[in-house]
Amino acid sequence: SSELTQDPAMSVALGQTVRITCQGDGVRAYYATWYQQKPGQAPVLIIFGNKKRPSGIPDRFSGSSSGTTASLTITGAQAEDEADYYCSSRDSSGNHVVFGGGTKLTVL
Amino acid sequence: QLHLQESGPGLVKPSATLSLTCTVSGDSISSSTEYWGWIRQPPGKGLEWIGSINYSGNTYQNPSLKSRVSMSVDTSKNEFSLTLRSVTAADTAVYYCARDRAATIRFDIWGQGTKVTVSS
């Protein structure tokens, strides 16, 4: 399968924890990557290699992966975390990059 | 500091060919073992990977677009390019270029994006 499935929308109360998931066959064999995109801006890499954070990304963002599901957890969500979040990995062949459909996160 | 900048026409007619260029500054394309990729985003929709190329011209591409896509790299200008043939309204999107750290499946540096509209 070449698809990565994400919930289209989620919400979290300010200061609370939210987990955004990404399901797909590719995640079982290949690294999952997560991007944050705010309106009118280019995506920003926030997690790669399933759980690694690039420098400058707050440690409230964490990633994990198990089986066919990768997860992005935001612990203590801030107002500025309201954004679209996209997962990415390879398809089951390993030869192509695929993106999930994105999750729109609202911080209440 | 690595910087990528897309350039190209904002408006393309249906059935025509779209050509975009990504100029890289802050590092040499030919000194890098990485790939350089194109990703697009139709209005109100998600991200779609188009394809990636390295400085030697090796590519890997989205199979759904492969028949219409060509990519090239010009190391003398430190830029890489995308050509998309026979465009339709469905190709209307913001097109991003990005550095593709293929080994770890991540696009770590992105351009700001360029909006392309396909319309007569």
Question: Do the Cβ atoms of B105 and A86 come within 8 Å?
Answer: no
Shortest CA gap A14–chain B (Å): 25
Query: Does residue B49 have a pLDDT over 80?
Result: yes
Report residue A68's pLDDT band, with 50, 70 and 90 as the boundaries.
very high
Nearest to A48 among B52, B62, B106 (CB): B106
CA distances from B108 to A36, B5, B16, B18, B37 (A): 12, 14, 31, 25, 11
For A5-51, the pLDDT digits (tens) are: 999 999 999 999 999 999 999 999 999 999 999 999 999 999 999 99
Per-residue pLDDT averaged across A55-82, rounded?
Answer: 97
Detail the DSSP E strand segments found in chain B.
3-7, 11-12, 18-25, 35-41, 48-54, 59-61, 69-74, 79-84, 93-101, 106-110, 114-118
Nearest to B46 among A49, A90, A99 (CB): A99
For B11-26, the pLDDT digits (tens) are: 999 999 999 999 999 9
pLDDT at A17: 98
Chain B residues with CB under 8 Å of a chain A CB are 37, 39, 46-49, 52, 60-63, 96, 100-101, 104-108, 110-113
Count of positions (residues) in chain B: 120
Query: Is the pLDDT higher at B32 or at A7?
Result: A7
pLDDT at A2: 59
Q: What whole-number percentage of chain A has pLDDT above 90?
A: 93
Q: Which residues of B54-93 are buried (b: 16+ CB within 10 A; e: fewer)?
A: bbeeebbbbeebeebbbbebeeeebbbbbebeebeeebbb
The winner for highest mean pLDDT among A93-97, B52-56, B87-91 is: B87-91
Integer-rounded Cα radius of gyration of chain B: 13
pLDDT at A92: 87
Q: How many CB pairs under 8 A join A and B?
A: 65
Per CB-CB distance under 8 Å, the chain B contacts of A49 are 104, 106
Per-residue pLDDT averaged across B61-81, rounded?
Answer: 96
Question: Do the Cβ atoms of B49 and A101 come within 8 Å?
Answer: no
Q: Alpha-carbon distance B3 to B22, whole Å?
A: 10
Question: Do the Cβ atoms of A42 and B112 come within 8 Å?
Answer: yes
Backbone angles phi, psi at A16, to 5 degrees: -95, 180
Per CB-CB distance under 8 Å, the chain B contacts of A101 are 46
Q: Alpha-carbon distance A104 to A53, whole Å?
A: 21
